[in-house]
């Protein structure tokens, strides 16, 4: 099994939680700069301690994740992270220019000599508000943008595109990706539509901030859909995102977590915006997603496979269950807490005490 460290460039100063958009006046630029340095150091350590990937993602208008453009952060990481793959999980396709996404990921692939993992995201609902897109069009935009990107990476001659949402008269990107025909592709989503699209496009699928039972069901559906179109996903085609915090003992890990404020997801941070997005048919058939990310008690979250907390022995057992029930081959692990040196220790413990034991799972 592989593991990725997902650090979101969280603001390390004081800022309200559960507010979106978060007013910029809460941001002290100097603390923001230190937050970026902290994150880069965490990624550097992850590389040293053997994580297979480091992960960056796109979110907007929040202190939880100060990487509105993950490509910029990935560019910086390309010069710091020397061994691990750099997973951009990812650009929020429906609100971006897909040709630009193809160009930037190809550029990153060249800068890392072929170490880019390309995750294509539909985005959290608030993201459509950011750039003023209609959420109800997000699935269709996503599917079309994905096809443009793949074609931009693989067509050897300039071509144009007459789509439903995108129109280009000529696309001819430089550089081409180092990984041929293109970097490994993933998308995310627990809904049947996501499973069908990933299977049809023969790409990997990631499950983020969900539960083990829900992800297991979605993974089985994805495999079944893939089988229908003639291929079989490997464990490496399935990513499960789960937060983690390790300490030398279970007691210390739980005490650390007890001292942190419960996380409020971006989706649930603003009930009014979320309700408006839900009205727009954004969720499709996957209405349960609305409540899946709601805040839960820590023990309940561990039981549901939403977070890994404990000493190394305990966390290995928690991961084994994820491997067994979902069949995921890649764990994408956000930092469950920003606790300074304790977080650095958590990264080291994961890399040195957990990673070697989950390799053969």
Give residues in contact with another protein (CB under 8 A).
144, 147, 151, 155-164, 166, 169-170
- The rounded distance, in Å, linking the Cα atoms of 96 and 189 is 18
CB burial of 87-122 (b: ≥16 within 10 Å; e: otherwise) equals bbbbbbbbbbebbebbbbbbbbbbbbeebbbbbbbb
Least gap, CB of 221 to another protein (angstroms): 23
- The rounded distance, in Å, linking the Cα atoms of 80 and 102 is 23
Least gap, CB of 196 to another protein (angstroms): 15
Query: Is the CB of 147 or the CB of 286 nearer to another protein?
Result: 147
Partners of 308 in the β-ladder: 244
Least gap, CB of 181 to another protein (angstroms): 12
Query: Is the CB of 143 or the CB of 328 nearer to another protein?
Result: 143
Query: Is the CB of 26 or the CB of 168 nearer to another protein?
Result: 168
Least gap, CB of 165 to another protein (angstroms): 9
Q: What angle do CA 333, 338, 342 make, to 5 degrees?
A: 90
- The rounded distance, in Å, linking the Cα atoms of 319 and 153 is 35
Query: Is the CB of 14 or the CB of 170 nearer to another protein?
Result: 170
Tokens of 339: 């606790």
Query: Is the CB of 26 or the CB of 165 nearer to another protein?
Result: 165
Least gap, CB of 167 to another protein (angstroms): 8
Least gap, CB of 195 to another protein (angstroms): 20
- The rounded distance, in Å, linking the Cα atoms of 207 and 195 is 10
Q: What angle do CA 109, 359, 337 make, to 5 degrees?
A: 75
Query: Is the CB of 132 or the CB of 291 nearer to another protein?
Result: 132
Least gap, CB of 158 to another protein (angstroms): 7
- The rounded distance, in Å, linking the Cα atoms of 119 and 135 is 20
Which residue is it, tokens 């144009």?
Answer: 160
DSSP 6-18: E------S---SS
Query: Is the CB of 162 or the CB of 291 nearer to another protein?
Result: 162
Least gap, CB of 98 to another protein (angstroms): 11
Query: Is the CB of 156 or the CB of 230 nearer to another protein?
Result: 156
DSSP 105-157: HHHHHHHTTS-EEEEEE---THHHHHTT--GGGHHHHHHHHHHHHHHHHH-SS
Contact residues for 29 (Cβ-Cβ < 8 A; gap 6+):
none
The answer to whether the CB of 296 falls within 8 A of the CB of 303 is: no
């Amino acid at each position: 099994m592989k593991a990725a460290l997902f650090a979101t460039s969280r603001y390390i100063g004081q800022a309200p939680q559960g507010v979106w958009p978060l007013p910029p006046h809460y941001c002290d630029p100097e603390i923001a700069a230190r937050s970026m340095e902290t994150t880069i150091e965490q990624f550097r350590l992850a590389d040293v301690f053997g994580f297979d990937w480091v992960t960056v993602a796109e979110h907007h208008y929040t202190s939880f994740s100060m990487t509105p453009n993950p490509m910029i952060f990935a560019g910086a990481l390309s010069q710091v992270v020397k061994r691990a793959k750099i997973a951009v999980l990812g650009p929020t396709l429906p609100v971006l220019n897909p040709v630009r996404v193809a160009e930037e990921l190809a550029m990153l692939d060249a800068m890392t000599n072929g170490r880019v993992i390309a995750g294509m995201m539909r985005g959290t609902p608030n993201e459509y508000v950011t750039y003023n897109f209609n959420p109800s069009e997000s699935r269709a935009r996503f599917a079309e943008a994905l096809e443009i990107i793949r074609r931009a990476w693989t067509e050897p001659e300039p071509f144009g595109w007459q789509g439903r949402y995108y129109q280009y008269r000529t696309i001819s990107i430089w550089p081409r990706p180092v990984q041929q025909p293109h970097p490994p592709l993933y998308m995310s989503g627990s809904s049947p539509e996501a499973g069908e699209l990933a299977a049809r496009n023969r790409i990997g699928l990631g499950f983020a901030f969900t539960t083990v039972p829900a992800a297991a069901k979605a993974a089985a559906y994805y495999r079944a859909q893939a089988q229908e179109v003639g291929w079989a996903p490997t464990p490496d085609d399935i990513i499960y995102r789960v937060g983690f915090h390790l300490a030398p003992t279970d007691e210390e890990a739980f005490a650390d977590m007890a001292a942190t404020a419960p996380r409020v997801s971006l989706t649930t941070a603003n009930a009014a915006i979320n309700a408006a997005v839900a009205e727009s048919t954004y969720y499709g058939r996957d209405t349960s997603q609305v409540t899946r990310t709601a805040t839960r008690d820590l023990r309940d979250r561990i039981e549901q496979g939403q977070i890994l907390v404990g000493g190394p022995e305990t966390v290995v057992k928690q991961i084994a269950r994820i491997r067994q029930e979902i069949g995921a081959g890649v764990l994408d692990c956000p930092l469950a807490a920003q606790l300074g040196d304790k977080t650095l220790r958590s990264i080291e413990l994961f890399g040195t005490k957990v990673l070697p034991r989950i390799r053969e799972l």
